[in-house]
Chain A
Amino acid sequence: MRTDDLIAQLSDGLEPVKSGAVARLLLGAIMLGILGSIALMLAVLGLRYDFTTAITSFGMWTKLVYAFAIAAFGFWLVERAGRPGAEMTRPLLLLALPLLAIALLSVLQMSSASQADMPGLVLGHSSRVCAPLVFLTAIPTLIATLWALKRLAPTRLTTAGAIAGLFAGGAGAFVYSFHCTEGAAPFIAIWYTLGIVVTTAAGALLGPRMLRW
């Protein structure tokens, strides 16, 4: 086809674009993904047995706020990653805030703990399974995020995949918090973060395969 004919064809049937189309697509897909993650957590892992008392505990809120902050900046980055030419520096820099906050809180908790309590703060009782389970919980959200991102216009696929993984990791960690009974900041800083990093890496690997358009 001649390029001129193509231009005529494309402009002839031009439909207006509804504003907020990108946000609706992303939000819809991500909601479904998170519902999937919640269902997976409830079905496979189960809600923590002491949920009703734990929901008011400091440890629970440490996890929730930390994971939510990462997911929120992650979502911002996902939206950017789907738009060619969009700057990502600012949300990437802001991502340092939750990391710094959890590191600071860890140092505070460790400095006021006795020598004997140290291993408990760092390793808890589930350090071996924490990161893999965060990743497992994140998988439905990761798939939904990649699905939505592919329908936008990601132009750097590895980066975009990693960003989808970062967001899904944050969301997965948030959902996993409702199963896990740990609450010490050092534990969260190490093992939750590791789970998020693993999900980010999985996204980076999947990006070039799943995001081509």
Chain B
Amino acid sequence: MIAQEAQYRDWMLAALMGDAGAYRMLLSGLTRHLRSYFARRLDSGAAEDAVQETLIAIHARRATYDPSLPFTAWVYGIARYKLIDEFRRAKRRPTVPLEDAGELFGHDEAQEAIARRDVTKLLDKLSPAKRALVKDIKLDGVSVAEAAQRTGLSESAVKVTVHRAIKSLGEDLKEEDLKGRGGDADR
């Protein structure tokens, strides 16, 4: 069972009775999941369009929600349909694996923003040259050969640098983790 199911279902049932406040909270809550869902699958302009299309579809077809069925599965069905629609419009092959609603509700944009911020903060601890290399290779998917050409280093030097940088970041994280726990104990 998806964690948000009970809350969202309650809001939906209230909204079906005409409760605008519950409906607004429901749509705002869903938007966070939808943004993250579409952002991982479409480019940014199309993603926000798809979010809005999905919200409109949820609104227009809200009578098709059967209260005896899971609400999150209903929303996921609509989001997936809108994703396929978007692919079709972009002339991409419209095949989307049939996953379950966890795919939609397991993520939201706030968590992802935190994760992104954490990575950026962590990378700031590296020297600028090292940071650029790690970012290129580990985050942006640049090949080692390409990075070597760009920096003028040999391929093996690039590999070693990135490896050491990641290792030192790992140690930093471990230290922070220990410090964090120590802090909790003091309180």
- A83 and B16 contacting across the interface, CB-CB below 8 Å: no
- A11 and B56 contacting across the interface, CB-CB below 8 Å: no
With A3-B55, A14-B18, A152-B64 already in contact, the answer to whether A84 and B24 are too (CB < 8 A) is: no
Per-residue contact bits, chain A 7-24, to B (CB 8 Å; 1 contact, 0 not): 110111011111001100
Is A86 in contact with chain B by the CB < 8 A criterion? yes
- B59 and A10 contacting across the interface, CB-CB below 8 Å: yes
Determine which of B20, B52, B61, B75 lies in contact with A3 in the assembled complex, contact meaning CB atoms within 8 Å: B52
C-alpha spacing A84/B56, complex, angstroms: 15
- B76 and A85 contacting across the interface, CB-CB below 8 Å: yes
Closest residue of chain B to A85 (Cβ to Cβ) is B73
Within the complex, the shortest CB–CB distance from A111 to chain B, in Å, comes to 44
8 A Cβ contacts from B75-111 to A? 75-78, 80-81, 85, 101
Per-residue contact bits, chain B 50-80, to A (CB 8 Å; 1 contact, 0 not): 0110011101011111100110111111101
Is A82 in contact with chain B by the CB < 8 A criterion? yes
Determine which of A7, A152, A212 lies in contact with B55 in the assembled complex, contact meaning CB atoms within 8 Å: A7
C-alpha spacing A14/B63, complex, angstroms: 12
Is B31 in contact with chain A by the CB < 8 A criterion? yes
Contacts of A22 in B (CB 8 A): 63-64, 66
- B16 and A17 contacting across the interface, CB-CB below 8 Å: yes
Most-contacted residue by chain B among A1, A3, A22 (CB, 10 A): A3
Is A155 in contact with chain B by the CB < 8 A criterion? yes
- A85 and B56 contacting across the interface, CB-CB below 8 Å: no
Is A153 in contact with chain B by the CB < 8 A criterion? yes
- B63 and A10 contacting across the interface, CB-CB below 8 Å: no
With A85-B74, A85-B101, A155-B78 already in contact, the answer to whether A14 and B56 are too (CB < 8 A) is: no
- A85 and B70 contacting across the interface, CB-CB below 8 Å: yes
C-alpha spacing A37/B55, complex, angstroms: 38
Interface size on B, residues (CB 8 A): 38
Is B148 in contact with chain A by the CB < 8 A criterion? no
Contacts of B59 in A (CB 8 A): 10
Is A43 in contact with chain B by the CB < 8 A criterion? no
Interface range on chain A (Cβ under 8 Å from partner): 20 to 34
Closest residue of chain A to B19 (Cβ to Cβ) is A14
Closest residue of chain B to A25 (Cβ to Cβ) is B63
With A6-B52, A8-B24, A10-B59 already in contact, the answer to whether A84 and B64 are too (CB < 8 A) is: yes
Contacts of B75 in A (CB 8 A): 84-85
C-alpha spacing A8/B59, complex, angstroms: 12
Is B48 in contact with chain A by the CB < 8 A criterion? yes
What residues make up the interface of A, taking CB atoms closer than 8 Å to B? 1, 3-4, 6-8, 10-12, 14-18, 21-22, 82-87, 152-153, 155, 212-213
Q: Give 30 A-B contacts (CB < 8 Å), ordered by A residue.
A: A1-B52, A3-B51, A3-B52, A3-B55, A4-B28, A6-B52, A6-B56, A7-B24, A7-B28, A7-B55, A10-B56, A11-B20, A11-B24, A11-B27, A14-B18, A14-B19, A14-B23, A17-B16, A21-B63, A84-B73, A84-B78, A84-B81, A85-B73, A85-B74, A85-B101, A86-B66, A153-B64, A153-B77, A153-B81, A213-B61
What residues make up the interface of B, taking CB atoms closer than 8 Å to A? 15-21, 23-24, 27-28, 31, 48, 51-52, 55-57, 59, 61-66, 69-70, 72-78, 80-81, 85, 101
